[in-house]
Amino acid sequence: MAKNRARIVECIPNFSEGRDPGVVAAIADAISSVDGVYLLRTESDVDHNRSVVTFAGEPGAVAEAAFRGIACAVERIDLTRHVGQHPRMGAADVVPFVPIEDVTMAECVELSRRVAERVWSELGVPVYLYEESALLPEHRNLADLRRGQFEGIRDALGSDSWRAPDLGEPRVHPTAGITAIGARRPLVAYNVWLGTTDVAIARKIARAVRHTSGGLRFVKALAFELASRGVVQVSMNLVDYRRTPIHHVFEMVRREAERYGVPIVGSELIGLVPQDALLAAAEFYLRLNEFDASRVLENRLLDAMSADAAEDE
Amino acid sequence: MAKNRARIVECIPNFSEGRDPGVVAAIADAISSVDGVYLLRTESDVDHNRSVVTFAGEPGAVAEAAFRGIACAVERIDLTRHVGQHPRMGAADVVPFVPIEDVTMAECVELSRRVAERVWSELGVPVYLYEESALLPEHRNLADLRRGQFEGIRDALGSDSWRAPDLGEPRVHPTAGITAIGARRPLVAYNVWLGTTDVAIARKIARAVRHTSGGLRFVKALAFELASRGVVQVSMNLVDYRRTPIHHVFEMVRREAERYGVPIVGSELIGLVPQDALLAAAEFYLRLNEFDASRVLENRLLDAMSADAAEDE
């Protein structure tokens, strides 16, 4: 009946391939070939031409698996032939490490830097260290780093000194570009779909809700046209969902959409979402008093079982 | 890193004492004195003068713990001196067993009947077998059984033949009354608070939402005045929250309250709530496409870990 608590790091690399299932499967296989790594989810988007792999495990195993996944992507993806809705600069575009259980942010920073060193020295792909792992303040924000995308960065790297990678020479890998690696807090990737084909409306809403243009503190937002589905979307990253919760973001998008007479036809979570982000939304809408995650039967049972296991040791 | 899946039954007995913490603690101690039982929550309501204890564990341990809790309540609670807002008929008023993991409903029925036999033979308290454990269709519904409460049942037992207990003689225990024991599906106990002191409005809303008077299929509802808080409440049991979800219930209460110009000032969950009941509410309000519980990081990780542990065996 014991549940032994393990040290857990989550890694959610984004790869610039969402149309060839063979390539995505090869990357996922490379990742799960490491013992003690749990492959949690693989998600591909055809319009974005991009895949997100989610895995977790003990820190050392996760670092090795991330490296193997990146190596496979560098071998199999050619950015000079890549077209998609989502901005990208690398075959392995961004590789974040997230502390989940019994691991500090500092340990994740250390781990991300070790992986970054191997990516440059063994694969010849230059690396930006971003978010909590950033060495330079101007490398902290992924959106800044990715501006101009693969093609623009390739041309600008020699001249713009702030653009120089943290590891490697100031040039992109000819086919695999440049990769951002770093540690960060858990993030909620949340897209809201609008019942219109007018992407200009999604752009206006993205500007209204995102932090950089005056919106909510921990929201990043872009607008996309999803040709295959006949809708547009406001695509968001909630970079601190405890302080800017998902339901505040949804309600703000809804109010803005109303102003343009456009309905919200649905929304989607990309990758996996921490339980407390959704419980907070249920609490808000159901107007629950004195609620917290310990009111959930499954959580209470796991806690009671691991407390009991700890006593037995 | 292994998590071994155990066979789990949950038990949520309701006791007719919510004002004397010493009595409630004695009952909780009796329950948790059984090895392999996890006490998950104890909750007392002063207005209701009633406490709900939630515990779980392997079936045999849970049966023994339930019996010890009932025995303690029979010894410590005197219904002839009990006053409270909530209807009640026994010191241990109702004792439901709920299959949680790797246990069938039939096993819970069997277990409830074994406990019921001991409650009559060892404690002299007659027992109704209710819900899934009922032997008679007219004993299935707890609200029917409890009509008239302790005092009314005491007077009616000799004359109304359908009132005869399933175990024991047709008389109440002089101080401990009569107890309902049975197996049932997981239940969500959900109260919505209205910003008025007019309990007649809460009564009208309870009638509108509950199944027996024409409302939602799997909702039972009563109205209460909460003198200590200056509000009234619609107190509900959602007896099949997968088919009549909590957010549909909340929205119907809200619409009815609007019709009387009364605001909803909050709501509360009593006891513990299964995770999927709250995830469904988040899904509904955030308009999530293609969402299920496997999108929750913690769930995915536990599943991956137990699959891995199973492979190792």
Q: Is residue B169 part of a domain?
A: yes
Q: Decide if B235 is inside a domain.
A: yes
Verify whether the Cβ–Cβ distance B296 to A287 is below 8 Å. no
For residues B168 and B111, membership in a common domain is answered with yes
Question: What integer pLDDT is reported at residue B3 of this predicted model?
Answer: 45
Confidence of residue A25 (pLDDT cuts 50, 70, 90): very high
Q: What is the DSSP letter of B97?
A: E
pLDDT tier at B313 (50, 70, 90 boundaries)? low
A250/B contact by beta carbon, under 8 A: yes
Interchain contact B2–A (C-beta under 8 A):
yes
- Specify which of B120-129, B157-166, B301-310 reaches the highest per-range mean pLDDT: B120-129
Helix, strand, or coil (residue B206): helix
Q: How far apart are CA B117 and CA B123, in angstroms?
A: 10
Q: What is the CATH number of the domain that holds B107?
A: 3.30.990.10
Asked if residue B199 and residue B174 are part of one domain, the reply reads no
β-bridge pairing B50-57 and B37-45: antiparallel
Largest distance between two CA atoms of chain B:
62
Q: Between residues 117 and 176 of chain B, which touch chain A (CB distance below 8 Å)?
A: none
For residues B264 and A287, the answer to whether their CB atoms sit within 8 Å is: yes
Options A48, A82, A86, A248, the catalytic residue: A86
pLDDT of residue B312: 60
Q: Which of A136, A173, A181, A135 is nearest to A157 (CA)?
A: A173
B155 and B64 within one domain = yes
pLDDT tens-digit readout, B32-88: 999 999 999 999 999 999 999 999 999 999 999 999 999 999 999 999 999 998 899
Question: Does one domain contain both A150 and A219?
Answer: no
Residue in B86, B139, B173, B248 annotated catalytic = B86
The answer to whether residue B308 sits within a structural domain is: no
Closest CB to A290: pick one of B268, B290, B302. Answer: B268
| Contact residues, chain A, for B301 at CB < 8 Å | 8, 38, 40, 56, 100
Average pLDDT over residues A84-92: 94
Q: Distance between CA A198 and CA A84 in Å, rounded?
A: 19
Closest A-chain CA to B294 = A272
| B306 touching A (Cβ < 8 Å) | no
CA distance B205 to A169: 70
Q: Please check whether residues A105 and A210 belong to one and the same domain.
A: no
Q: Does B300 touch chain A (CB under 8 A)?
A: yes
Question: Does residue A260 sit in the same domain as residue A150?
Answer: no
pLDDT (average), residues A25-41: 96
Question: Are B197 and B225 part of one and the same domain?
Answer: yes
The per-residue pLDDT for range A205-235, each reduced to its tens digit, is: 999 999 999 999 999 999 999 878 889 999 9
Could you tell me if B121 and B194 lie in one domain? no
Q: Are residues B111 and B158 in the same domain?
A: yes
> CA A100: distance to chain centroid?
14
Q: In terms of DSSP H, where are the helices of chain B?
A: 21-32, 59-76, 105-123, 142-146, 149-156, 199-209, 246-259, 275-285, 297-312
Residue B213's SS3 state is helix
Judge if A168 and A197 occupy the same domain.
no
Q: Over the stretch B143-159, which tens digit does the pLDDT of each residue have?
A: 899 999 999 999 998 88
pLDDT beyond 50 at A2? no
Give the DSSP H or E segment for B94. strand B92-101
Phi, psi of A221 (to 5 degrees): -145, 145
Q: Is A310 an interface residue toward B (CB < 8 Å)?
A: no
Q: Measuring CA to CA, which residue among A284, A289, A282 is closest to residue B226?
A: A289
The percent of residues in chain B predicted with pLDDT above 70, rounded, is 97
Confidence of residue A313 (pLDDT cuts 50, 70, 90): low
- State how far residue A301 is from chain B, nearest Cα, in angstroms: 7
User: CA–CA separation, B182 vs B248, rounded Å?
Assistant: 27
Q: Considering the entire predicted model, what is its pTM?
A: 0.80
Instruction: Indicate whether this complex's ipTM tops 0.90.
Output: no
Last residue of a domain, one of B148, B183, B218: B183
The 3 state secondary structure assigned to chain A is CCECCCCEEEECCEECCCCCHHHHHHHHHHHHCCCCEEEEEEEEECCCCEEEEEEEECHHHHHHHHHHHHHHHHHHCCHHHCCCCCCCCECEEEEEEEEEECCCHHHHHHHHHHHHHHHHHHHCCCEEEEECCCCCHHHCCHHHHHCCHHHHHHHHCCCCHHHCCCECCCCCECCCECEEEEECCCCEEEEEEECCCCHHHHHHHHHHHCHHHCCCCCEEEEEEEEHHHCEEEEEEEECCCCCCCHHHHHHHHHHHHHHCCCCEEEEEEECCECHHHHHHHHHHHCCECCCCHHHEHHHHHHHHHHHHHHHHC
Write down which residue in A164, A183, A202 finishes a domain: A183
> Which of B183, B209, B243 represents a domain boundary (last residue)?
B183
Among B284, B285, B308, beta carbon nearest to A38: B308
Question: A296 vs B288: CB contact, 8 Å cut-off?
Answer: no
Residue B280 lies in a domain: no
Check if A248 is active-site: no
Which residues from A are below 8 Å from B52, CB to CB? none
Alpha carbon distance A127, B310 (integer Å): 39
Contact predicate B46/B80, CB 8 Å = no
Determine, yes or no, domain membership for A306: no
- Longest CA pairwise span in chain A (Å): 62
In this predicted structure, which of B24-28, B134-138, B268-272 has the lowest mean pLDDT?
A: B268-272
CATH of the domain at B202: 3.30.70.670
A96 and A137, same domain (yes or no): yes
- Specify if A310 maps to a domain: no
Residues of B with Cβ-Cβ distance to A266 under 8 angstroms: 287-289
Closest by Cβ to B38, choosing from A40, A264, A304? A304
* Closest to A223 (Cα-Cα) out of A213, B10, A31: A213
Query: Does any domain span residue A226?
Result: yes
CA distance B31 to B35: 10
Please check whether residue A245 is in contact with residue A216, taking contact to mean a CB–CB distance below 8 angstroms.
Answer: no
Give pLDDT tens digits for B31-48.
999 999 999 999 999 999
Q: How far apart are CA B174 and CA B153, in angstroms?
A: 12
Q: What pLDDT is recorded for position A99?
A: 94
Q: Taking the CB of residue A240, how many other CB atoms lie within 10 A of it? A: 15
Q: Which residues 30-59 of A have a C-beta within 8 angstroms of B?
A: 36, 38-41, 54, 56, 58
Span B93-131, pLDDT tens digits:
999 999 998 899 999 999 999 999 999 999 999 999 999
Mutate to test the interface with B, among A58, A285, A297 (most CBs of B within 10 A): A297
B43 domain-assigned: yes
Q: Domain count of chain A? A: 2
How much is the mean pLDDT over chain B?
93
A44 vs A25, A50, A195, A271, B31, CA distance in Å?
Answer: 11, 6, 23, 10, 50
Regarding whether A224 and A86 lie in a shared domain, the answer is: no
- pLDDT tens digits, B226-253: 878 889 999 999 999 999 999 999 999 9
Q: Decide if pLDDT at A136 tops 90.
A: yes
By residue range, what is the domain housing residue A175?
A: 8-183
**A298 contacts in chain B (CB < 8 Å):** 274-275
